[in-house]
Chain A
Amino acid sequence: QKEVEQNSGPLSVPEGAIASLNCTYSDRGSQSFFWYRQYSGKSPELIMSIYSNGDKEDGRFTAQLNKASQYVSLLIRDSQPSDSATYLCAVGFSGGYNKLIFGAGTRLAVHP
């Protein structure tokens, strides 16, 4: 059973702080990793994708991947109240077919 684990939260951070979201996965063969943001009642929207070990930055977002530890994280700098949402970690299934396995999501609350 391929699994993706996330802390459900809520993770509460003050406005302007760094929010750190973590994800571990069980499928050692996975090669693609994604972070999605989902607002209540809406479908997920892609924030970041990462395929290689190390960091990948895009604006206020930085994704970090460590395949040896089977760990992927998302940092949000200068957190804003509008960042309050559920963040879903998704891992590409190594069996192919472009299937993604999703974690249960971490709810982030940024308070003014």
Chain B
Amino acid sequence: GAVVSQHPSRVICKSGTSVKIECRSLDFQATTMFWYRQFPKKSLMLMATSNEGSKATYEQGVEKDKFLINHASLTLSTLTVTSAHPEDSSFYICSAWTNTDTQYFGPGTRLTVL
């Protein structure tokens, strides 16, 4: 079946540093990928839609200058959390749709900002 991978699975960083998270579609091409954030015991909140070859579309309330998204190829989207702070600590999950109208999620990246 379709697989979406993420790297790293866990990252711990100091406040003020930047962290890059990669999302790859392994056996299909994805012109659109989605980035979600999930706080403990909360549901997934869509942060942005990543579009291959064009600018990402951010949801209301999500700072585009803080969460930089690059979708440089049909199989790779990256999310960079810039100048991370403890309140950015969360579970970040990407997803992609296949051409069979099924959305698959990556395994997630747990970010801890000290």
Distance of B11 from chain A, by nearest CB (Å): 15
Q: Are B43 and A102 in contact (CB under 8 A)?
A: yes
Interface footprint category on A: 20 to 34
Distance of B6 from chain A, by nearest CB (Å): 8
Q: Which of A34, A42, A102 contacts B107 (CB 8 A)?
A: A42
Q: Please name the residue on chain A nearest to B44 by beta carbon.
A: A102
In the complex, number of A-B residue pairs with CB atoms less than 8 Å apart: 43
Provide the residues of chain A in CB contact with B103, threshold 8 Å.
34, 46, 98, 100
Q: Are B108 and A42 in contact (CB under 8 A)?
A: yes
Interface footprint category on B: 20 to 34
Within 8 A of B (CB), among A18-46: 32, 34, 36, 41-46
Within 8 A of A (CB), among B19-36: 32, 34
Q: Are B34 and A99 in contact (CB under 8 A)?
A: yes
Q: Which of B34, B42, B43, B104 contacts A46 (CB 8 A)?
A: B104
Q: Are B49 and A97 in contact (CB under 8 A)?
A: yes
Counting CB contacts under 8 A, is A65 at the interface? no
Q: Are B108 and A99 in contact (CB under 8 A)?
A: no
Counting CB contacts under 8 A, is B105 at the interface? yes
With A88-B43, A104-B43 known as contacts, the answer to whether A99 contacts B106 (CB < 8 A) is: no
A–B complex contacts, Cβ < 8 Å, 27 sampled: A32-B101, A34-B103, A36-B105, A42-B107, A43-B93, A43-B108, A44-B44, A44-B93, A45-B105, A46-B103, A46-B104, A49-B101, A88-B44, A97-B32, A97-B57, A98-B97, A98-B103, A99-B34, A100-B34, A100-B46, A100-B103, A101-B46, A102-B43, A102-B45, A104-B42, A104-B43, A105-B43
Residues of A bordering B, CB below 8 Å:
32, 34, 36, 41-46, 49, 88, 97-105
Q: A36-B105, A46-B103 are in contact. List 5 more A-B contacts (CB 8 A).
A: A32-B101, A43-B93, A88-B43, A104-B43, A105-B43
